[in-house]
Amino acid sequence: MALAALKSEKTSADLAQLHDVHPNLITAWKAQLTEGAAGLFGSGSSGKAATPAVNLKSLHAKIGELTLENDVLAVALGKAGLLSAKKIDRTHELPLARQAAVLGISRGSLYYGARPVSPADLAIMRRIDALHLDYPFAGSRMLRDVLRGEGVAIGRDRVKTMMRRME
């Protein structure tokens, strides 16, 4: 519309009526277009657009950092495509915290070691497994009651936890 007003083929009133807008709006658009057109072609005698200064040293540093991160990802993903703390390369020059951030895993998981299951818990789990074979319909409450009847002091939540671990 502002372009048509610049061409002066029709008056602002005719354009306003044609496009169902106020004539003052068309006049304002025309003024904005003429003011903005000068800045469109630049304001220099050479006619070339000003290019921002590029710091090559920081760009090379960033490229090196990204290359290291890509190496970590390539090793971590491997053929399986899985992300885990086991895939972290502790000998790599990229810090462990950065490797964890690149892989999207918690830094704390790098240092976590799972506790082994105690022999007493293993014995209870074997008994739960045997009871589950005898009573496949039994839930945590019934298994708790059977185990308590056998002299094992255990709660329902502990039975549920052990059943979940055995899945």
Give the residue-averaged pLDDT of 135-143.
92
Does residue 54 fall inside a structural domain? no
Whether residues 127 and 95 fall in one domain:
no
Whether residues 127 and 106 fall in one domain:
no
pLDDT tens sequence across 74-125: 666 654 455 555 667 778 788 888 888 877 778 887 777 778 889 999 999 9
Percentages of the chain per state (helix, strand, coil), in multiples of 5: 65, 0, 35
Expressed as residue numbers, the domain containing 24 is: 2-39
Does residue 47 fall inside a structural domain? no
160 confidence band (pLDDT: 50, 70, 90): very high
pTM beyond 0.85, yes or no: no
Question: How many structural domains compose the chain?
Answer: 3
CB 2 within 8 A of CB 32: yes
CB 101 within 8 A of CB 68: no
